[in-house]
Each structure stands twice: as structure tokens, then as C-alpha cells.
Amino acid sequence: MTAHAPTTHETPAPTGELAAERAHLVTSRAALKAMRERAEQLFTVGDQVAGDAYTAEQLGRQMAQRIKELSDDPAVPLFFGKLTMAAEERWHIGRRHVSDAVGEPLVLDWRAPMSRRFYQASARDPQEVAVRRRFGWSPAPAGGSTALTSFEDEHLDHGQELGTGSAILTAEIERPRVGPMRDIVATIQPEQDELVRADLEDTICVQGAPGTGKTAVGLHRAAYLVYLHRERLRRSGVMIIGPNRSFLHYISAVLPALGELEVTQATVGELLDHLPVRAEEDVAAATLKHDARMAQVLHRALWARISRPTGPITVSDGSYRWRVDEGVLRRVVDEVRREQPPYALGRERVRARVVGLLQRQSEARRGDSPPDAWLRKMGKVKPVAELLDHCWPAITPQQLLADLYTDAEALSRAADGLFSPEEQELLHWAKPPRSLRSAPWTAADAVLADEVAGLLDRPAGFGHIVIDEAQDLSPMQARALARRSGHGSLTVLGDLAQGTTPWAARDWRDMLGHLGRPDGRIVPLSTGFRVPAAVLTLANRLLPALDVAVPPARSLRRDGSLEVTESADVAAAARNALTREGSVGVIAADAAVPAIVDALRAAGLEPSALDGDGRLTVVPATLVKGLEYDHVIVCEPAAIVAAEPRGLHRLYVALTRAVTSLIVLHTEPLPEPLR
Ligand SMILES: Nc1ncnc2c1ncn2[C@@H]1O[C@H](COP(=O)(O)OP(=O)(O)OP(=O)(O)O)[C@@H](O)[C@H]1O
């Protein structure tokens, strides 16, 4: 394969081609406006013609959604690419579909099957594409519009291919980052596109070094799947799981920019709402609670609640008395138990079968079928209720956990052969709480309560879940997500080297097992788009000490700078960084953050809150995962390492947040691998 120099046209364009492209832009914008006006008109008419209130509301919601989808943001290019086919057809590719009054497409949605060639065609396999064109756009000033300024052609039919040498890709990657994450739809790379367009049925697990575009791939895959399977996924839903709220805030603009407004975004913690978290616990206890063995302990503890009937029941029904013998009742309970339904469903099944036995007696005596009200009444009569409370008692997740934590014998039975006596002791509450609400519930208990809730009843599953920073999930958290995925598929994104929780994954196959998808495809991403090579070389020196088998990251970026300085003057470093274009992130051990904020303020600088939109942000090291800044100042690496057991992993995360420059400030000796 031979790569040739591109034919790049810069503004002002000497040829009429750029003018023709600008004319196409004007036509496309006008067509989009007309589409929006038609939708608005339908919206008004729909209001008058829709039959019942429900239909009207549904229709209204869909139309309002459609109008929003058709909105034209002048700051966002309407198209970014163009394919000229060997057969002379021409297709512009953009963020959404635009067609003219007779339905002729003016811009193809990037997710349409045809658009795939824009990302995948190569000189070796042109896929009938003669020329691939990428457009350059000027940055939009605040509140203003972007302008079409240039284009770059690859004559695939003549063996020309730029790959990552594209000037427009380079400009996009090097564009200063301010504010939330942007979509990468104009420059998705072939290896990323393969993942974005993976089938809905496919669970994929992406192991990628920092900045290889994992988050970007996950978000674009969500947008792609919603486009392709709109009706199905609108019903079941798509969810994005991120490590914390700051991260979710950072990525929140990407899907709306791609026209997708109905995707749920949450942290794992936000999904677990079965008890109020009010206490902290030591790492050993928390780690044990996050261990996969805990699932077996809870399963045993719950099913140990079931006991066999110890006598017959007799039910008075007007002038009749029905009787069910102990042996028959035992068979009912044993049978339902063998069927292994969710526990709460099992209880109802026992109830229904006992009522069925009463019904048969009644029918035999009375000669006709009793009405539904009779069946409901029989389900609640005292002997039946007492039988259920004895044999298959109702239980809440909180009650089950509290009983385990306070009753050493019950715990020992459930944990027999699984937990050592010392481990069991870790779970024990020294004194019983006054009430379940005031019990010292911890975050790990919330995960366990969710496991129990999942044994009681199966939650409805999402059609697709994208899990970012998945390396940090514990086996029990992974199970909580598996439960919410039902028959759906997963996109699992992470980097074993960035695992910072005590239970962080060391092997993706194990994690996929906990996520209920042991056969998921594990795919590496290796090209880094964020971190400059010099910075990555420094961070890679930590890898051998991180005890994970991952290939070192490789950067596309030859620009950028690295400075390691023996100084504590963060204000001077920040002031200097602010003279350059782009965002500045100061990353420090959590405990050092207040003093750094004070020092910056004392120097007349104004750091903004993590979710704010200022140019200078001070970020606690524990919250920086997934984020990026043009200029990063990492303060005192030794303190970041010392703050937690997996401090070196945390430092690896901190060092890989820089897009353009990294400044490491220290007065203490640097951690060993960096010396
Ligand atoms: N194909 C691409 N074109 C342009 N920019 C890209 C491309 N792929 C990734 N990027 C950019 O590279 C940066 C890193 O991407 P992203 O945050 O998705 O990486 P990541 O693998 O999730 O990183 P980390 O593991 O550090 O969280 C982002 O600014 C993203 O927009």
C-alpha cells in the first residue's frame, strides 16, 4: 500500500470546488430547516387529530423529540465528509440525515450502512469509493457558527491513503479542549469503527491504554445501536455507566450532539437504592462484601429461610371446611423449590398452588368454579398466610442482611466452606441496630442488598449497557449490572492498568464472567489520541510496577511537552499554563486539594469547580479518571501514591490526563519507577 501526499485545499480556496461545497451546505441547511418546519406543522396538526389523550401524548412526545433531533446548531458542522463513488454518485456524510423536498438525501447519517465506507474504505480495499473527502471547519466563536474552510482528499482509486497522517484528523486531535467531551464522529478510525458498528447481540470488552478512545467508542456505539434498532431499544432502553458524576457530566453532551437524547446515564451506586448508606467500613470488610463468594452466601441464606410444612391446614369457607394434608403441602413446597423461581415469585407460586388445592375441593363439592374474588380471599385466609409465613416467609433485602450480620450461627451456616471464621467475624455487627433504617449500612451493603433484591425478583433488563472504567467494578457490582442487562448486550470499556479500587479486575475474562457474558469478545485498542508520546513514555515507566498484563500505550502524538520540576509553586505553574490555549487541570492527592485551592486564590487565580466551565480546575486525584485537560499539573506524585493502596495505579491515571503539556511538581523524592 502506498501513501501519497494529500491534495489539501486551504482557505481561501483557489478552486471553485470549495464554493460548490459551501453551496451544498447552504442547500442542506435550508432542507433541514424545511424538515423541521414540516415536523412542527405535523406537531400542531397531530394535536388536533390524535384520538384519545394517551395517543395524543405519545404522538406529541415523539414529534417533540423529532423536532429536537432536527434542530440545527450552527456551531456544529452539518457534514464532515464526502464519498465520491467509482460510479460517480456523491454522498455527503454528517451527524444526521437531511433530505430535500422530494426525499433525495443531501446528507447521510454517519450511521447509515453506506456511511460505513467513509470509515472503512482503504487503498487496499476501496469498497467502490473513488475519493474520500474530509472537510475542515473553523472553530465556532461562543454563540456563533462554524464555517467550511477546507477539504482534504484521498484518491483511494489511485492508491492514496492518509490514515492517521490526515491533517484534518491531526488538527481535530490537537484542538484545545475546553468544556465537556466532544463527539469524534468526523474522525473515527477503522479499528474504532469496527467496535462502534458491532452487532447489537455482541458483547465486546475493550482493553485500551489511556486516551485510545474507549469512552468515545462506547458513546458512539450507543448512538449507533439506537439508530439501527430504534424501536426495540426505545422500549428496553440503553444505559451508560460511568465512575462518578463529574465524569458523567463531562460526557453528557456527546450523545445529544449525535441526536440521541434518551439514553440513561448513571453510576453503579445510583442504581442501588435498597438501603440508605450511612456508614463507612474498613477495606477488609468491604473487600469481602464485594467478593463473588458473597453471592453464594446470600443465596444460601435466603433459601435457608424456606422450611417444610409441619402439619395440615384447615380452612373454613362458609358452611364448608377444606383440609390439605401435611404431605401434600410438603410436595407443593418441595416442587416449587426445585423449580428455582425468584424467591418472591416462589412464595406466590406456593400460595397459588395451595389455593388451587382448595379450589378443587370446592368445585368437587359445589359443582361449579368459584369466582376470582373467592380465589383472592382464599389466598389471604389465616391458615394459608400462616403456612406461607412459616414455609416461605416474605423477606426484605435489609432484613436478610441484618439477620446475617447479627446472627453468627445463621452466617456460619450460610458461609460454611466459603468464608473462614476470621472472614465471618469481619461481617459481624457488634451490636444489633435499633431499627433497620438506622443500621450502619455501607456502600458495599447497598451492593449486597441489590444482590438479594435480584434473588427475590428479576429486574427488567436494558437492551444495551455501556460500562466505562469497568476495571474498577467488583464482582458483586458486575453482577448488579448483569442483572440489569437481562438478555441485552454489553460494551465493557476499561484499562486494567487504571484499576484503583481494592477489588479492581486483573483479568477481563473473569470480569466478563461476573457480568454474565463469559464469551464476550475482548478487543484491544492501542493507538493513543490524547497523551503526547513524551508524557506517555514517562507514565509507561510505572507499568511494570502495576502488576497487570497490558501492552504499553503507543501515542499518535509527537507534539506536546513534559516537565518535571522540583518546586511546590503550583500558582506559578498554573499562571504559566493559563497563558497558553486550552484547559488547565491541577491534579493532587485529595487531602492536598484545599491548600492548593487556597494557594491559587491567594495568587489571584480563580479555580472553578469540577463541573464548572472555567479554564482552571483543581481535581482530587480520585476523581480525575476519564477526564482530560490541555495542560496538566500533577502535584507531588509521592503523596498521590501514599494516599491509597493502589496509589501507583492512581498516579498512572493522573499522569495520562494531559493533551498537550504535563508538568510534574514535587519536593519529595519521586516514586521509585519515575526516578
Ligand atoms: N478517532 C478519534 N478522532 C479524534 N479524537 C479522538 C479519536 N479517538 C479518540 N479521540 C480523542 O482522544 C481523547 C481520549 O479519548 P477517550 O477519553 O475516549 O479515551 P479513553 O480510552 O476512554 O481514555 P482513558 O482510559 O484515559 O479514560 C478524547 O479527547 C477523544 O475525543
Q: What is the pLDDT of residues 18-53, one digit of tens each?
A: 999 999 999 999 999 999 888 888 777 655 655 677
Across residues 464-480, what is the average pLDDT? Answer: 98
Is the pLDDT assigned to residue 4 strictly greater than 50?
no
- Write the Ramachandran bin of 125: left for phi over 0, alpha for psi from -120 to 50, otherwise beta: beta
**260 closest CA partner among 297, 235, 226, 233:** 226
Q: 536 is written with which cell numbers?
A: 506517555
Ligand 1 contacts CB of residue 188 (under 6 A)? yes
Give the tens place of pLDDT for each residue, 355-394.
Answer: 999 999 999 999 888 999 999 999 999 999 999 999 999 9
**Continuous H helices in 503-636:** 508-514, 533-540, 570-578, 593-602
Predicted confidence at residue 46, as pLDDT, reads 57
Ligand 1 centroid from CA 217, angstroms:
8
Predicted confidence at residue 643, as pLDDT, reads 97
Q: Quote the pTM value.
A: 0.90
Q: 267 is written with which cell numbers?
A: 453510576
Residue 562 DSSP one-character state: E
Torsion of the alpha carbons at 463, 469, 473 and 479, rounded to the nearest 10: 10
Determine the Cα–Cα distance for residues 3 and 163; give it in Å rounded to an integer: 9
CA distance to 291, 334, 341, 358, 630, per residue, from 328 (Å): 40, 10, 20, 12, 73
Predicted confidence at residue 47, as pLDDT, reads 57
Ligand 1 contacts CB of residue 212 (under 6 A)? yes
Is the pLDDT assigned to residue 601 strictly greater than 80?
yes
175 or 516, higher pLDDT: 516
Give percent of the chain above pLDDT 70: 96
Predicted confidence at residue 178, as pLDDT, reads 75
Ligand 1 centroid from CA 211, angstroms:
5
Find the helix packing angle between 53-69 and 17-49, rounded to 10°.
170
Predicted confidence at residue 12, as pLDDT, reads 45
Atom 1, ligand 1: residue with shortest CA distance:
188
Q: 551 is written with which cell numbers?
A: 501492552
Is the pLDDT assigned to residue 524 strictly greater than 70?
yes
Ligand 1 contacts CB of residue 21 (under 6 A)? no
Predicted confidence at residue 110, as pLDDT, reads 96
Q: Which amino acid is at 70?
A: L
Q: 314 is written with which cell numbers?
A: 384447615
Give the tens place of pLDDT for each residue, 269-290.
Answer: 999 988 999 999 999 999 999 9
Ligand 1 centroid from CA 209, angstroms:
10
Ligand 1 contacts CB of residue 216 (under 6 A)? yes
Complex ipTM value? 0.99
Question: Over the Cα atoms of the chain, what is R_g?
Answer: 30
* Closest atom of ligand 1 to CA, residue 188: 1
Is the pLDDT assigned to residue 467 strictly greater than 60?
yes
Ligand 1 centroid from CA 305, angstroms:
50
With bands split at pLDDT 50, 70 and 90, how would you rate the model's confidence at 195? Answer: very high
Q: 40 is written with which cell numbers?
A: 412542527
Going through 405-538 in order, the beta strands assigned E by DSSP cover 464-467, 489-494, 521-525, 527-528
**111 closest CA partner among 212, 229, 24, 22:** 229
Element (H, E) at 453: helix 443-456
∠ Cα 673 674 675 (to 5°): 95
Q: Which amino acid is at 236?
A: S
Ligand 1 contacts CB of residue 213 (under 6 A)? yes
Task: Return mean pLDDT, the chain.
Answer: 92
Determine the Cα–Cα distance for residues 140 and 179; give it in Å rounded to an integer: 14
Is the pLDDT assigned to residue 451 strictly greater than 70?
yes
Ligand 1 contacts CB of residue 192 (under 6 A)? yes
Across residues 307-335, what is the average pLDDT? Answer: 96
CA 277 to chain CA mean position, Å? 23
Predicted confidence at residue 558, as pLDDT, reads 82
CA distance to 178, 218, 369, 614, 669, per residue, from 629 (Å): 8, 20, 73, 12, 25
Residue 608 DSSP one-character state: B
Lookup result for grid cell 447481540: 201
Ligand 1 centroid from CA 647, angstroms:
24
* Closest atom of ligand 1 to CA, residue 189: 1
Q: DSSP string spanning 118-149?
A: HHH--SSS-TTEEEEEEEEEPPPPTTS---EE
Ligand 1 centroid from CA 252, angstroms:
15
Q: Which residue positions form the known binding site for ATP?
A: 208-215
Predicted confidence at residue 50, as pLDDT, reads 56
Q: 234 is written with which cell numbers?
A: 426505545
Q: Which amino acid is at 196?
A: V
* Closest atom of ligand 1 to CA, residue 216: 18
CA distance to 66, 193, 258, 486, 521, per residue, from 77 (Å): 19, 20, 12, 38, 34
Predicted confidence at residue 553, as pLDDT, reads 75
Q: Which residue positions form the known binding site?
A: 208-215
Q: Per residue in 546-577, is it b (16+ CB within 10 Å) or e — as a string?
A: bebebeebebbbeebebeeeeebebbebbbbb
* Closest atom of ligand 1 to CA, residue 219: 18
CA 154 to chain CA mean position, Å? 35
The edge-to-edge listing of strands for the beta sheet with 129-137 is: 7-9, 148-155, 129-137, 79-85, 90-94, 105-109, 98-99
Predicted confidence at residue 2, as pLDDT, reads 34
For ligand 1, pick from 118, 137, 172, 215 the residue to mutate: most ligand atoms within 8 Å of CB: 215
Q: Which amino acid is at 547?
A: D
For ligand 1, pick from 80, 214, 550 the residue to mutate: most ligand atoms within 8 Å of CB: 214
Is the pLDDT assigned to residue 61 strictly greater than 60?
yes
Across residues 191-219, what is the average pLDDT? Answer: 96
Ligand 1 centroid from CA 320, angstroms:
74
With bands split at pLDDT 50, 70 and 90, how would you rate the model's confidence at 11? Answer: very low
CA distance to 83, 218, 528, 673, per residue, from 120 (Å): 12, 18, 19, 40
